[in-house]
Every structure is written in C-alpha cells, then in structure tokens.
C-alpha cells in the first residue's frame, strides 16, 4: 500500500478493499518508525488524524466522497491548520497553534483528504538545504548524509521515504522543484496567484506560491485539481474558470517544440547532471518533440535580483513577530523596546536574521533607488526573456539544480554557494511562471537528478501532459531509495 499512487489508493478506498482508518494507520506506523531517521515531520497528531480518517470512511459509506476522500497526505508546516501547531520551522512560532485553516488546508478538507501531519522545512522557507529549521535538519532518504533540498525538504523526504503518498509545498525561489529534484520525486510550482496564499505564512509575498509534491505527474494533477481556486481573502488570487488538470495527460507529444536555454547548460552545471538531463531530452525526441535552442540572457542576474527583492519583502513580512501578539516572547526584558530586541534576537535563526538585515538595508533611505528599484527593473527584463522565448517554443526544459544533493553541512558556511543551488529555478518565480521538476536519472554519486519543465502562464495542464508522457516511457519516478 505504501508504494501505491494517490489514484491507486483512492481506487482501493472507493472499492472498499481497505478503509481510510486502516490506510492512515499504516502510514502513521511508518512515520513512527522512520521519522526519527529522516526528521521529515515536525508535528504528528495521531488522534486528530485518525478522527479525520474515520469521518472520511463515514463519508464514503454515505456515498458522498470525492476522488481523494480518505487518502492521507502531509502538509508543509507553513500552512496554518486549525488546532494544529504551525511552526514554519521557527522557534518564533514553536508554540503557535493556529485558530484557522489556510485556504489550501480548507480545500483538501473539503475534498475529504486526511492530514497525516506537518512536515519540516527551512525556517520561514529561507534555505536551499533544509538545514535552517529550528527542529533540526531533514535527511535525504537516498543518502542520510545528504540534504533533501529546501525549503520543502520535509515534504520531499516524506514522499521519497513513503511516509506519505503526497504532500503540499511552497516555492518562493525553487522550494518545491529543488527538493523534488534532490529527493527523486515530482513537484510543480503553479502560475503565481493560481493557489491562494491565505493562511500560508508569508516569506516574500510577490514570489510565494503553494503547490503539490508527489511521485508522479498524474498524482500532481489530482492534487492540483483540489488546490487551485479563487479565494477572495487573497488579493493576488486569480479568478479563473476551474479546470481538470488531468484531462490532457494522455495527449501525444508529436510536434511539441521544446526550448533549451543555452544559459542552463553552461559553466556551473555538473557533468553527471548534464548527462542525465541530455538523456531525458533524447527521450523526448523519441516521443516526437522538436528541440529549439533559445536564450534567456538575463538568467545570470536572477540570483542577485532575487536576493534584493525576497529579503526586502521578508523584512517587511517578518516585522509582525515582535513577541506581543503571538509566538515566542523573550522570558526576561527590562522594557518594551528591550522585549522586542530580545524576542527577535532569540526567536529567529541566523539565516532569517541575515535576510531581514539585507532587506532592511535595500529598503532604507538612500539605498532604495540603488538596489530595490533597480532589481524591480531587471525583474521585468527577466520576465520579458521568457515572453520572447515562448514565441519560439511551447515548453522550456533544463536541469532543476546544478548538482545532485550535497552533503549536510557542506555549504552552510558559504551562503553564496548555497544560494547558487537555486540558479535555474529563481527566474521562474521572478516572472510568475509555472515550473516543475520530475526525476530524470541519477548522478555519479547515486543521488537523483531532476529535469525542470517550465511553461507559459496557465499552461500547467500542458506541463503535466509533457511530464506524464515521459513517465510512461521511463521508470525514474518509480525508483525508490535502497531499503525503502
């Protein structure tokens, strides 16, 4: 049961071969046994989870279930879930119990899925390795000496280790795609605004986007059908007619024009990752796709632009954590100002403090025009690169990350090297485009390689079709870590 897809699990529930309580208990037993190894979950509430499973069984028995009713999934600990501890990987929120559900949690609740627990993550989604969590690093199931990627590393590791069949994640600069690549699973970051950010703890509001993580494109489509929808509580939520993202999965790829950005195959890309990605591209040629070389000339500027804009927004969003209203408060202080200072000094980790300071600096008087305003102008040029590229092709492909998963602690002392882990993913967020990562082989070290697929705005169905056809022709997405 642990290796079945979401669709197969749903079929077992619908045919009453197994109850949701039985299915959920099996995943809970596995979490209990293996979470001490991988540290993928921050919070598990067996009583609340089994209560949801029991209700799902009653719903199915009454003939009122949806496709995913009774299927257990996990949620990144950035989504507020009513009566669940929601920490965002931070000491600052380590004792915060949410009084309400995020839009995404509501949608999955309405679909009848069961919440298996909250997954570990980099503190406030700031990180590329899942080493900045207050609750300790997550281990990669393919090699426990390696990072799982960040910031949705807990979700990615949980799916790869079969602790859950699927999970939610968020992607601000690649935080769904990069950990999906490093853990050998599939993940999609939808077009900005397609999934409501209501109840999703903010990092950089103009970049944050929720999305699903699972083992196959087909499962991502089923999850996306649940997550996407207009929400009046999020001013950036897009009002569009809801669609079935699984409807075009079986379409052939003959005639598909795939753009290969020359900047994604240049210096910095490791040889084994390039080999695996080129092999995937060859497979697409066999499926009838036509390759076109394109250029995204401003890609090299995406990292510096991102690390001006994202910290600027983070410094503003995180100003609300002052110890007054909720979350951590320093136990000893002399006056109000001292309480603010000590609360934030003790409550935030090093990476969060670094980004708050960078953000405050680039927004300060005298530097706003020199940094923030210039970065916004370059962001527009980066988006224009993609607009021009999509005049030549239907889909863009390349590596998701320049290397396979690196070792725990390897890049912790060098933030710039860490930031370069997201060099191929960040531009997609700056442009607001959808992007996804699917398994495409292994590096020389036996760790997974991800193939990135980038689509034009609202082309999620086409991207999932492109990924699904590849997964019908290959079995990389079905491989599992040794001993799993």
State the catalytic residues. 76, 151, 175
Separation of alpha carbons 80 and 99, rounded Å: 8
Helix 217-227 with 103-111: angle, nearest 10 deg:
110
- Token pair belonging to 407: 């070792």
SS3 of residue 312 by DSSP: helix
Compute the 3-state secondary structure of the chain and give helix, strand, coil in percent, each to the nearest 5: 45, 15, 45
Beta-bridged to residue 75, according to DSSP, are: 118
Q: Give φ, ψ of 333 to 5 degrees.
A: -160, 160
Residue carrying structure tokens 């960078």: 358
Regarding beta strands 290-294 and 257-261, do their DSSP bridges make them parallel or antiparallel, or are they unpaired?
A: parallel
Could you give the angle at the alpha carbon of 475 between the alpha carbons of 469 and 477, nearest 5°?
85
Could you give the angle at the alpha carbon of 14 between the alpha carbons of 12 and 20, nearest 5°?
70
Nearest by Cα to 248 from 455, 474, 6, 475? 455
Cβ distance 134 to 86 under 8 Å?
Answer: no
Beta-bridged to residue 356, according to DSSP, are: none
Nearest by Cα to 178 from 423, 379, 363, 10? 423
Separation of alpha carbons 181 and 149, rounded Å: 8
Q: What is the CA radius of gyration of the chain?
A: 21
- Token pair belonging to 36: 């001490």
Q: Would you put residue 446 in left (φ > 0), alpha (ψ -120 to 50) or beta?
A: left
What stretches of 348-459 show up as alpha helix (H) in DSSP? Answer: 350-363, 374-389, 415-419, 426-431
Nearest by Cα to 470 from 253, 322, 238? 253
Separation of alpha carbons 8 and 6, rounded Å: 6
Nearest by Cα to 420 from 303, 312, 266? 303
């Amino acid at each position: 049961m642990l290796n079945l897809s979401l669709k197969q699990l749903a079929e077992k529930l619908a045919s009453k071969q197994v109850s949701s309580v039985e299915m959920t208990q099996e995943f809970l037993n596995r979490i209990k046994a293996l979470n001490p190894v991988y540290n993928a979950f921050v919070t598990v509430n067996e009583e609340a989870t089994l209560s949801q499973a029991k209700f799902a069984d009653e719903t199915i028995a009454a003939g009122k279930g949806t496709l995913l009713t009774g299927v257990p999934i996990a949620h990144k600990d950035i989504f507020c879930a009513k009566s669940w501890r929601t920490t965002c990987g931070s000491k600052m929120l380590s004792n915060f119990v949410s009084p309400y559900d995020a839009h995404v949690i509501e949608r999955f609740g309405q679909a009848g899925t069961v919440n298996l627990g909250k997954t570990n993550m980099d503190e406030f989604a700031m990180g590329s390795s899942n080493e900045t969590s207050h609750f300790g690093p997550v281990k990669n199931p393919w090699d426990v000496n390696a990072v799982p990627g960040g910031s949705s590393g807990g979700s990615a590791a949980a799916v790869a280790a079969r602790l859950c069949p699927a999970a939610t994640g968020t992607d601000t600069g690649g935080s769904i795609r990069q950990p999906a690549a490093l853990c050998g699973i599939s993940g999609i970051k939808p077009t900005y605004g397609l999934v409501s950010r209501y109840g999703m703890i903010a990092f950089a509001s103009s970049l944050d986007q929720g999305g699903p993580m699972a083992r196959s494109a087909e499962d991502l489509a089923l999850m996306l059908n649940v997550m996407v929808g207009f929400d009046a509580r999020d001013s950036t939520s897009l009002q569009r007619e809801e669609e079935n993202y699984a409807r075009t999965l079986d379409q052939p790829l003959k005639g598909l024009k795939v753009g290969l950005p020359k900047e994604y195959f240049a210096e910095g890309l490791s040889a084994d990752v390039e080999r695996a990605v080129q092999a995937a591209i060859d497979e697409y040629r066999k499926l009838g796709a036509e390759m076109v070389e394109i250029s995204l000339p401003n890609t090299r500027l995406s990292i510096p632009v991102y690390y001006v804009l994202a910290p600027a927004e983070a410094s503003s969003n995180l100003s609300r954590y002052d110890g007054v209203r909720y979350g951590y408060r320093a136990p000893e202080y002399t006056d109000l100002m001292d309480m603010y200072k000590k609360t934030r000094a003790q409550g935030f980790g090093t990476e969060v403090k670094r980004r708050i300071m960078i953000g405050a600096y680039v927004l300060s008087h005298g530097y706003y025009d020199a940094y923030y305003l210039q970065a916004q102008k370059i962001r527009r040029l980066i988006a224009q690169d993609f607009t021009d590229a999509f005049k030549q092709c239907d889909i863009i492909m390349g590596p998701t990350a320049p290397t396979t998963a690196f070792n725990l602690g390897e890049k912790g002392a060098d933030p710039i090297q860490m930031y370069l882990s997201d060099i191929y993913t960040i531009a997609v967020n700056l442009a607001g485009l959808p992007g996804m990562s699917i398994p495409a082989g292994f590096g020389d070290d036996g760790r997974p390689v991800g193939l990135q697929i980038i689509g034009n705005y609202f082309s999620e169905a086409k991207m999932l079709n492109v990924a699904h056809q590849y997964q019908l022709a290959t079995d990389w997405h079905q491989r599992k870590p040794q001993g799993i």
